[in-house]
Structure 1
Amino acid sequence: MILRLLAALLALAGAVLPAAAAELACSGAFGPDSSEARLIETFGKENVVFGEVPGAEGETMLATTVFPNDEARRFQVGWWDEENRDSIAYFTVPPNDSAPGGVHIGQTVAEVQALNGEPFTLLGFYWDYGGSASFTSGKLASLPGGCSLGVAFEPRKDLPTGVDDTPILGDREVSSTEPLLVDLDARIYDVYLSYPDPSAPADTDTGEGEGAGEAAAPQ
């Protein structure tokens, strides 16, 4: 009787527990040389749609959306070659999955800093690019497959009345060690991976700074 009860409880637990999150890799269907045809082959034609999607600053952009009607699995892919829908510029990470290195939606700034192994910087909040962060050093700066990680944080709480929010406000760089980020309970709401333009010339000292030639994912 007890054994039957335990078996029933285990079966019930397996039915209600969510599947473990998958850590995506920058290869295969998500590799830099992938295409919309590869996405259709992998995920099914009925689950792949190309068209306009929201971009930054109220603009729209062209991208491919996979699983558009399934919020848990939905992700977006932008192309360097939009005409042929070839050569991935960026892809977003679905809510239930994680990027290489274990980064996923819902993590705090401190959790991401721990994964990176050192502090990083993000942009101040309350504008179109607020909370955005990329990685120029640390474990998350060099990922297998040659992709670059980008994330965006948003505050889950307001600061107490009277607290000066200048250090985390607007177009400024904010260190991940800033104590106000803990008070705000800032957490990831968007994760994406990008690749450099394959048609761009080899890296040279152009003075354009880190990230030149990489695609900007939607905010």
Structure 2
Amino acid sequence: MLARFFVPAFAAVLLLTMPAAAKEKTKASQVTCEGVFGPESSEALVKQTFGPDNVVTGMVDGPEGMQMLATTVFPDDPQRTMRFGWWDEDARSGLSYVDLAPSQIAPGGVRIGQTVAEVEALNGAPFTIGGFWWDYGGYANIENGNLAHTDDKTCWVSIRFSPADDYSSDIDATPVSGEVQVPSGEALLEMLDVRVAVVSVSWPAPEGYGEDHGQPAD
């Protein structure tokens, strides 16, 4: 069940440190919520789509030192690395989430490396971001706008932001640290060069999931 509530932050903000020339050569591909990225996806379809030699399934690091099962695609190519999580881990099917690669564009136009202002422009409305520097920090809370999740029958985009690794010691980052909600218009976000670090496409649990796993269904 952990995969439903937590998207592992394994992706670094690679575009922030790439030379400009390398960024220009990175060909972005648009992701849609269907096929291998749809709710009926499976490890078998991932292997069929990307080639079995490019797919590895096993335990990966989760929050608070936990381990969780995931299927990783192109693990040795950071610009193309994706990670799939499954509702049915035994069958490795029923897509819970997929963390997208830096070279991919999520539905709505979001991709790794964008600034908070760029995401706000795509959304067409302000939102809040969880404070940084803890296991569950940096996630966007989008209740209104183009990127808001309003229909449990469709996928939604989860966005996690991260500040730059190094910033001026003159900046007091306390207001954006820990368990707080930070408005997307907060000036500190630009001062800290906060950008998208992880973009995920997620799906709700299949009907009857709780019953199938020995838990009461919603």
Task: Give TM-score, length-normalised by structure 1.
Answer: 0.78
Per the alignment, residue 193 of structure 2 pairs with 185
1:66 to 52, 55, 73: 73
Mapped partners of 1:20, 1:48: distance in 2: 21
> Contact conserved, 1:151 with 1:188, CA < 8 A, in 2?
yes
Q: Name whichever of 40-49 and 126-135 sits farther off.
A: 126-135
Structure 2 runs not aligned, ≥5 long:
1-22, 210-217
- After superposition, residues 48-67 of structure 1 pair within 5 angstroms as 48-67=55-74
1:23-34 correspondence to structure 2 within 5 Å: 23-34=30-41
Farther off after superposition, 166-175 or 116-125: 166-175
Q: Aligned residues: percent identity? A: 48
Q: How far did residue 150 of structure 1 move?
A: 1.0
Provide Cα deviations, 1:49-79, integer angstroms capped at 9, x if missing partner.
1101111112111011111121111100000
1:176 paired residue number? 184
Cα distance, 1:19 vs. partner? 4.9
The aligned runs of 1:151-166 (5 Å cut-off) are: 151-156=159-164, 157-158=166-167, 160-161=169-170, 163-166=171-174
Matched, 1:112 2:119: yes
For structure 1, list consecutive stretches of 5 or more residues without a partner in the other structure. 1-15, 202-212, 214-219
Change (3 A) 1:19 1:169: closer
The structural deviation recorded for 1:17 is 5.8
Matches within 5 A, 1:93-112: 93-112=100-119
Aligned to 1:195: 203
- Does the 8 A contact of 2:130 with 2:141 survive in 1? no
Alignment length, in residue pairs?
186
Q: Which runs of 4+ in 1 moved over 6 A?
A: none
TM-score, length of structure 2 as denominator length? 0.79
Q: Please say if 1:20 is aligned against 2:27.
A: yes
8 Å contact 1:135–1:150 — kept in the other structure? no
Give the alignment's Cα RMSD to 1 decimal.
Answer: 2.2
Distance 1:188 1:42, change over 3 A: same
Instruction: Report 1 or 2 for greater relative contact order, CA contacts < 8 Å, sequence distance ≥ 6.
Output: 2
The DSSP-based 3-state class of the residue aligned with 1:70 is coil
Structure-2 residue corresponding to 1:38: 45
